[in-house]
Amino acid sequence: MKKRHSENLLTPNEFARRLAISRWTAYSWIADGRVRSVKLGRLVRIPSSEIDRLIAEGTKELLRG
């Protein structure tokens, strides 16, 4: 039996709203590979864990500086 992945997937617009960035920035980060995404046909979705990862990485950079 396959394990089902139950993580929430966000649209690029939802992702952008949660981070207070533009949707164009979200799409740019996806294209650059800065943010993991899943393509479902023509739809693009971003795992919600990417928000936590970006915040954690940003926090680490602040602590290093």
In a domain, 19, yes or no: yes
Distance from C-alpha of 5 to C-alpha of 24, rounded to nearest angstrom: 28
Q: Is residue 4 part of a domain?
A: no
Cross-strand pairs, 40: 43
Q: Tell me the CA distances in angstroms from 19 to 1, 2, 5, one per residue in order.
A: 36, 33, 24
CB-facing half-sphere around the CA of 45: CA atoms within 13 A:
12
Domain that holds residue 18: 9-64
Query: Global pTM?
Result: 0.80
Domain count, the chain: 1
Domain assignment present for 37 = yes
Identify the band that residue 10 occupies on the pLDDT scale cut at 50, 70 and 90.
very high
Query: Is residue 51 assigned to a domain?
Result: yes
* Any domain includes 16: yes
Q: Give domain status of residue 35, yes or no.
A: yes
Structural domain contains residue 54: yes
| Inside any domain, residue 48 | yes
Tell me: the pLDDT tens digits for 20-56? 999 999 999 999 999 999 999 999 999 999 999 999 9
**Amino acid at position 64, single letter:** R
